[in-house]
Chain A
Amino acid sequence: MVSSRKREDDYDDGDEEEQYSDYEEQEESTRGRPKKKKRRLTNTLLDIEAEEDDAEEEEEEEEVAGLIADDDVHDAAVDTREQMRAQRFQRAMEAEDPENIHQYIEERYAYHEGEQGAPDTSGVDQQSLLPTIHDPRIFIVKCKKIGHERRAIFSLLQKMFNYKRKGIGLGIFSAIAPHHLKGRVYIEALSSVQVEAAIQGLDLFTTYDGIKPLKLDEMVDVLRIGKRTEKQKLGTWVRLTRGMYKGDLGQVSSVRDGYAEGQVLVRLIPRLDYKGDKDFMDDLERDDANDDADVSSTRRKGRPPQMLFDKKELYRLTGSADVYTQRDRSTGAVYEVWNEELFRYGLLHKWVSPKTLVTGDEVQPQVEELEKWIMAEKQMRAAFEDNSSNIEAEEASRGLSLDVSSIAGRRGTKLYKGDSVRVVGGEQKGLTGKIEALQEEVVLLRCEDFPEPLSVSRNDVVKVFKQGENVRVASGPYAGFSGHIVAVDGDFLTVFADSTRENIRVVSAQVADASDMNIDYSYQRSGAAGGAGRQQYELFDLVQMLDDPTEKCVVIQVRNDGVKVLDSRNNAAVHPLSAIKSKVRDTSARAVDSRGFPIAANDSIHVVSGIHKDRQGIVQHVAGSFVFFKARDELKNCGLVAVPAAQCTASTAAARRLSSTGQPLQDALRGQSSLPRGSISSFGRGSFGQMNGRRGPPIRDELYRADVKVRKGQYKGHTGKVVEVSETTVRVELNSKMKTITLPRASVRKMGDTGPPPSASVTSSWGRGRGSSTSSRPPLPNAPLSGSRTQRYTQTPRSDDLYRNQTPRIERFGAATPRYGSSTPRGNATPSRFGQMTPGRDGFGSRTPARVDPYLAPQTPANPYQSYEAMPSTPGAAAATNLGAAYPALEPKTPGGPVEPRTPGIASFEPNTPAPGMEPNTPAPVSLEPRTPGAHYEPRTPATLEPRTPMVGEPGTPHTPAVMPQTPHPPEEAPQPTLGYKVLIDVEVLVKDEKNHPGVVVSASSDGGEILVKMIAGEKRGETIKVTNITPVQPRSDAGEVQELVKVLDGDYVGHVGRLVHVINGDNDNLEGKIKFENGQEVVLQMALVAKCYEEGT
């Protein structure tokens, strides 16, 4: 009895709970219960509930009052409930009150019938079912032989039968031997005496340790299954986790429910060593014994390569084929046995514990592995064809056909609407179609041959790709690659990778359409899980190496363990992440090409000399004097080539623009500095005076070296100096403590700032670019000229940002930080000072008289020299130095550039102007007063002029003309000596006073100082106003149909009057106006050179 029982139990992987009862008479009633309940409800006392699908069991249950429960928490709880009920029943029986019994039974039926259709019990319900002290206790009894717990239970069962025959009860309710708890049996009884009686005489139990009752709260745990070990399904693809075949891909071929553990027959690609099999086996054994520790040593020795078992090969190599065939008793399959290993179709069949198998997503087969399997599949097919087809049928009926595509296609695939898929299983196998809709487990397929969409199980479809499609590899070793499919071979795709320009072989399941944005997500995720390299660096990042900070390389491949970089000598090497210092941003870096024009990233270049002569491409990065460009014809290194910048010519807009001025940047640079060719990228910063030659965000940052106040956190209220900045954090050296702390940017505020906390913005980038191209000199704090320069500056309205003046305002006003004044890059860049050195400005000099004239015509009031002379005499000159910073209002509007060009004009202007009006706006009125120009200054500058400033960024050049319109006086003043004021007649002007009275010039005296302005507004009609106090009105740039009458104030067409047809964004991003003269001629002129003419009715 027990043995047959045992065999049947083998089919059930679960645990058992067996209950005994001597209340046999109740069996009838229980058996009347519906059998096919979803939840097996068991009467602990009376009935036996068997596996529903086990017919034998059901037969048995009539005589055996045993019970086999599902090892499920839920069931456990149900059992407990049943036990309670049983108990109640027992009490009722004891009371021997037939009515009570009848009532009880009725209750029970009612309950069951009600429950049948009822949903699963909720958590709360279950809670109420927990055992109480009134319930029977569970006692722990040790089993003598570990692993024989079940046998012990069966012996108990046997004893129960024997007792029953005698009409004696065993006195216990149930006995449990959970699978996962070794060496113990749990027996449910009301007292330990009953337990002791029950196990008396059974040799598998021992009372050596006593019979311990289980605590109430532990009772449920006994029946709780921690993790349900999934039953291995036939045909499942798995990986082994230990032994010789650790990591190898296998397929479950057969599952045998073991006594203690289920065993799984896995087929694997054998790793065979025909010759030295002895050593090989030793290895394997040791491996198994010592577990993972020894695996590495085995690895080091090298485990035999994977190959299919081949009898002929064995014979050829060893001279004997010690192979015999054996028929497996359980499966009936015929195996070849060699070396105590089972082989079939060349595959090794190995019994392993399911615990050593990995299933699910981790299996992810790789192409190389699958190729071997495909060979095996072919071999199997061949075998099928050779033999009678019934083997195949047999195999297929067990779901065991070695369908490689079942794994190749399915794993890790995410399906999206619109994907082309092929059905690989089910009735529609072989069909292809497009996904029309996705439901939970089903996809709706639109197939050409069927009018209606078909619904197919999600698991039965694989993605299909066609040649030429653009795809991205979403997982596997090539994750992240994208390219075109050049060949399709079943489930394998050959993809021509865009980045490496090599063919890669991938499985279709790993691939997704390149336009599929969802892939990015999964790729990122896999990257996050798989490699640090993916997180930190991306393809084509410019990085700085740790060992040689001057060397900058470009990332050409990101790996899990590091990155492959290309250096400036075109050597590609793989470096661990630890060898890389940081990413470098080179957006503002410029190198100088062979003609002296700047090269920036994204410019297209042509190599004119050197080994890469005649190649061309687009610059990816500028690193010092080298540029990395993407050459179309380069096949290696992601198409990237490094060349010295001096070997290239840039064919960019910037270069064209500059070349039109005839003044290449390089020449200009050489004229003013001794800096070597091709390395101007860091000038600006060098001149900044704080960090010579260093580049990178820290320096650009306005917070760097700034005095800040901590706004939040522990150090709130402390002040300190920023010593280090990053995009998100700053390190602040506290003034009050000898301590440097790291804080988020948001929690510090620059001293004197009241606005929102500064972000890592690049407001000053213009200044940088500008500085880099124009000012190559280190600051000359002591030179008198620079002094004058500074002064000029300071008069210019300007922002803190531009200055990089992190000094609090107070400090500035106190003139305590001369460094800022003198070392500002701005200062260096000032045209009036270094006019000669700024190529752009030179180039435009001819067109912008305002700028040049001051130099040429010393008698002009605008003359910088004059102003310089004037300065020293100005009281509070030092304070004036800081005035520039006193116009914080300007900051947001001026990206930085426009201010400078204006400077000369303004500066020169000031000495002559009385400065009463300045005060209201200037925080430092006192220092300003003596020098400041008129009141009109302020309203005009920030408000009207700046928004118009079109271009800022181009080194030196472009803004110059653009600036002119903003600072109208210089253009006017400048023409004075050379062209006379007559040209201003009929031009609309604004009088620079408090109200900005509009007016029209009706006449002009040529004695160089006075113009008579007729006022339209009438208030100052007919007054004589100094030319320096008026500013011409700009024609509206968005004129539209209103073609304004304009007059050319300077240039070749000076004095001409015409209509402004439209305004365009000109060559240097200046505003240019297309003007139609009265004689029908059309010209394009810079807007800076024209002014609005007075017209009746406008």
Chain B
Amino acid sequence: MLEVEGTFAGRFGFIVAVLKVEGDIPVAELDDNTGFAVFPLAYQAVVFRPFKGEVLDSVVTKVTEHGFFAECGPLTVFVSHYSIPSDMNYKFIDDEPTWKGSEPEDDIVKDVSVRLRIIGLKIEATEISATATIQDPYLGRLD
């Protein structure tokens, strides 16, 4: 039953925790392919559903020349270099790929926290991916 936790449910977002099952357990149907019995259930759950324009805090996981990837919990966000302020440059600092800002504390490297705004969402049946920007005021590296 708890198998859905930690998965995506399409447009509903990430299922964080199932609160309760709604209604009775219906009669199961056998799945011809696997032989599993399938019970269609309705349940209430806490979900994480990002929205366009939402400002999120995230942790940078990967820095590339195209931009960087960050994770807000289960959501992977890509910040393109077009969405990074133009005063930041892609450099290698101590062999770490870095988006170098005007101040050292603005540098974006792996594992730093970044506040970003989601500008695009792609919601699929089993996955949500997003692109974000750090070009607005108060966005960028947090510390």
Residue A1049 lies at the interface, judged by CB distance under 8 Å to chain B: no
Taking CB atoms, residues of chain B closer than 8 Å to A1040 are 24
Check B119 for interface membership: any CB of A closer than 8 A.
yes
Please measure, in the bound complex, the distance between the C-alpha atom of A484 and the C-alpha atom of B39, giving whole angstroms.
Answer: 36
Task: Please determine whether A895 and B32 come into contact, CB atoms closer than 8 angstroms.
Answer: yes
- Apart from the given pairs A484-B122, A494-B80, 7 other A-B contacts in the complex at a CB distance below 8 Å: A487-B82, A496-B78, A632-B71, A632-B76, A953-B35, A953-B36, A1040-B24
A951 B24 Cβ-Cβ under 8 A: no
Q: With the chains together, A740 CA to B77 CA distance in Å?
A: 57
Residues of B within 8 Å of A494, CB to CB, are 80, 82
The reply to whether the CB of A470 lies closer than 8 angstroms to some CB of chain B is yes
The minimal Cβ–Cβ distance linking A658 to chain B, given in whole angstroms, is 14
A375 contacts chain B at the CB level, 8 A cutoff: no
Question: Which stretch from A763-771, A828-836, A991-999 is at the chain B interface?
Answer: A763-771
Residues 637-680 of A at the B interface (beta carbon under 8 Å): 653
Q: Which of A482, A486, A949, A1069 contacts B131 (CB 8 A)?
A: A486
Distance in angstroms between the alpha carbons of A768 and B68 in the assembled complex = 44
Known: A486-B131, A951-B36. A498 touches B82 (CB 8 A): no
Q: Does A54 contact B (CB under 8 A)?
A: no
Q: What is the CA–CA distance of A503 and B83 in the complex, to the nearest angstrom?
A: 13
B30 interface contact, C-beta 8 A: yes
Quick check: A1065 and B31 within 8 Å, CB to CB?
Answer: no
B32 adjacent to A653 (CB under 8 Å): no
State in angstroms the CA–CA spacing of A766 and B37 once bound together.
Answer: 12
List residues of A (764-790) whose CB comes within 8 Å of B's CBs.
765-766, 769
Contact B82 A486 (CB under 8 A): yes
The 9 closest A-B pairs by CB, nearest first: A952-B35, A468-B119, A468-B120, A486-B80, A953-B34, A487-B82, A950-B37, A953-B35, A766-B35
Inter-chain contact total with CB atoms closer than 8 Å: 115
Within 8 A of A (CB), among B81-108: 81-83
Contact of A467 among B37, B81, B119 (CB under 8 A): B119
Interface status of B62 (Cβ within 8 A of chain A): yes
Pairs A–B under 8 Å by Cβ, sample size 25: A467-B82, A467-B120, A468-B52, A468-B119, A484-B80, A484-B120, A484-B122, A486-B131, A487-B82, A496-B66, A496-B78, A496-B80, A503-B66, A633-B62, A653-B3, A763-B32, A765-B34, A765-B35, A766-B34, A766-B35, A769-B34, A898-B35, A950-B30, A950-B36, A1069-B36
Docked Cα-Cα span, A1038 to B27, in Å, equals 7
B32→A762 contact, CB < 8 A: yes
A950 to B118, CA, bound (A): 44
Q: Are B120 and A485 in contact (CB under 8 A)?
A: yes
List, in ascending order, chain B residues with CB within 8 A of A1062's CB.
Answer: 24-25
Chain B's closest residue to A635 (CB) is: B64
B42 interface contact, C-beta 8 A: no
A820 CB to closest chain B CB, in angstroms? 22
B69 at the interface (CB under 8 A from A): yes
Q: What 1/0 flags go to A488-514 for Cβ under 8 Å of B?
A: 000000101010011100000000001
The interface centre, meaning the residue of B36, B83, B118 with most chain A CB atoms within 10 A of its CB, is B36
The number of chain A residues with a CB under 8 A from chain B is: 47
Chain B residues contacting A1071 (CB-CB under 8 Å) are: 37
**Is A761 at the interface (CB under 8 A from chain B)?**
yes
- Please state if A498 and B39 are interface contacts (CB–CB under 8 Å): no
In the complex, chain A residues whose CB is within 8 Å of the CB of B76: 632
Rounded to whole Å, the gap between the CB of A370 and the closest CB of chain B is 19
Please, which residue of chain B has its CB at the minimum distance from the CB of A632?
Answer: B76
Residue A961 is within 8 A (CB to CB) of chain B in the complex:
no
Q: Indicate if the CB atoms of B83 and A486 lie closer than 8 Å.
A: yes
* Residue numbers in B under 8 Å from A761 (CB-CB): 32
Check if A250 is an interface residue, CB within 8 A of chain B: no
Interface centre among B1, B25, B64, B69 (most CB of A within 10 A): B25
B residues 2-44 in Cβ contact with A at 8 Å: 3, 24-28, 30-37, 39
Given A761-B32, A895-B30, A1038-B24, verify A498-B122 contact (CB < 8 Å).
yes
Task: Answer whether residue A1064 sits at the interface, using C-beta atoms and an 8 A cutoff.
Answer: yes
| Contact call B66/A952, Cβ cutoff below 8 A | no
Cβ A896 vs Cβ B52 within 8 A = no
Determine whether A348 belongs to the interface, using a CB cutoff of 8 Å to chain B.
Answer: no
Q: Mark contacts of A1025-1056 with chain B using CB atoms, 8 A cut-off: 1 yes-contact digit, 0 otherwise.
A: 00000000000011010000000000000000
Once the chains bind, are A1065 and B66 in contact (CB under 8 Å)?
no
- Residues on A with C-beta less than 8 A from B27 are 1037-1038
Q: Is the CB of A468 within 8 A of B131?
A: yes
Closest to B2 in A: A653
* Contacting residue for B37 out of A484, A951, A1038, CB 8 A: A951
Bound-state Cα–Cα, A765 to B34, Å:
7
Other-chain residue from A467, A469, A470, A954 in contact with B83 (beta carbon distance below 8 A): A467
Complex contacts, B83 vs chain A, CB 8 Å: 467, 486
Cα distance A468–B83 in the bound complex, in angstroms: 10
Task: Give the contacts of A571-585 with B (CB-CB under 8 A).
Answer: none
Q: Which of B82, B120, B129 has the most CB of A within 10 A?
A: B120
**B121 contacts A by Cβ under 8 Å:** yes
Evaluate contact between B34 and A470: CB separation under 8 angstroms: no
B120 near A470 with CB under 8 A, answer yes
B120 touches A502 (CB 8 A): no
Residues of B within 8 A of A883 (CB): none
Q: How far is the CA of A635 from the CA of B69 in the complex (A)?
A: 10
- B27 smallest CB distance to A (angstroms): 6
Q: CB of A587 within 8 A of chain B?
A: yes
Q: Within residues 463 to 480 of chain A, which ones have a CB less than 8 A from any CB in chain B?
A: 467-470
A765→B3 CA distance, assembly (Å) = 23
A66 at the interface (CB under 8 A from B): no
A149 CB, nearest partner CB in chain B, Å: 61
Q: Which of A724-776 contact B (CB under 8 A)?
A: 761-763, 765-766, 769
Name the A residues within 8 Å of B52 (CB-CB): 468
Q: Which residues of B contact A653 (CB under 8 A)?
A: 3
A1063 interface residue per 8 A CB criterion:
yes
In the complex, the answer to whether A514 meets B36 with C-beta atoms within 8 Å is no
- Chain A residue with the shortest CB-CB distance to B39: A1065
A1065 to B24, CA, bound (A): 11
Separation of A895 and B35 alpha carbons in the complex (Å): 6
- Tell me which residues across on chain A come within 8 A of B71, comparing CB atoms: 632
CA gap between A295 and B35 in the complex, in Å: 62
A971 proximal to B (CB < 8 A): no
Docked Cα-Cα span, A633 to B26, in Å, equals 40
The distance in angstroms between the C-alpha atoms of A950 and B36, with both chains bound, is 6
B37 surroundings in chain A (CB, below 8 A) = 949-951, 1065, 1069, 1071
Complex CA distance for A633 and B32, rounded to whole angstroms: 36
**Complex formed: what's the CA distance from A498 to B66 in Å?**
13
A131 within 8 Å of B (CB atoms): no
- State in angstroms the CA–CA spacing of A753 and B91 once bound together: 71
The CA of A1071 and the CA of B131, in the complex, are separated in Å by 43
Residue A897 interfacial (CB < 8 Å): yes
Closest to A1066 in B: B1
Q: Which of A931-975 contact B (CB under 8 A)?
A: 949-954, 959
| B123 CB to nearest chain A CB (Å) | 9
From 237 to 265 in chain A, residues with beta carbon under 8 angstroms from any chain B beta carbon are none
CA distance A484 to B123 in the complex (A): 12
Residues of B within 8 A of A951 (CB): 35-37
Do residues A952 and B34 form an inter-chain contact, with CB atoms below 8 A?
yes
The answer, among B32, B35, B122, for a CB contact under 8 Å with A470, is B122
The distance from the CB of A568 to the nearest CB of chain B, in whole angstroms, is 24
Residues of chain A in range 1042-1098 having any CB-CB distance to chain B below 8 Å:
1062-1065, 1069, 1071
Q: Please state if A470 and B121 are interface contacts (CB–CB under 8 Å).
A: yes
Q: Whole-angstrom distance between the alpha carbons of A653 and B34 in the complex?
A: 14
In the bound complex, residues from chain A placing their C-beta under 8 Å from that of B34 are: 765-766, 769, 952-953
Residues of B within 8 A of A1063 (CB): 25
CB–CB A484/B36 < 8 A:
no
Assembly CA distance A622 to B27 (angstroms): 33
Cβ–Cβ < 8 Å partners of B81 in chain A: 486
* B31 engages A953 (CB within 8 Å): yes
Residues of chain A within 8 A (CB-CB) of B61 are 632-633
The CA of A332 and the CA of B13, in the complex, are separated in Å by 65
Q: Give the nearest-CB partner of A763 in chain B.
A: B32
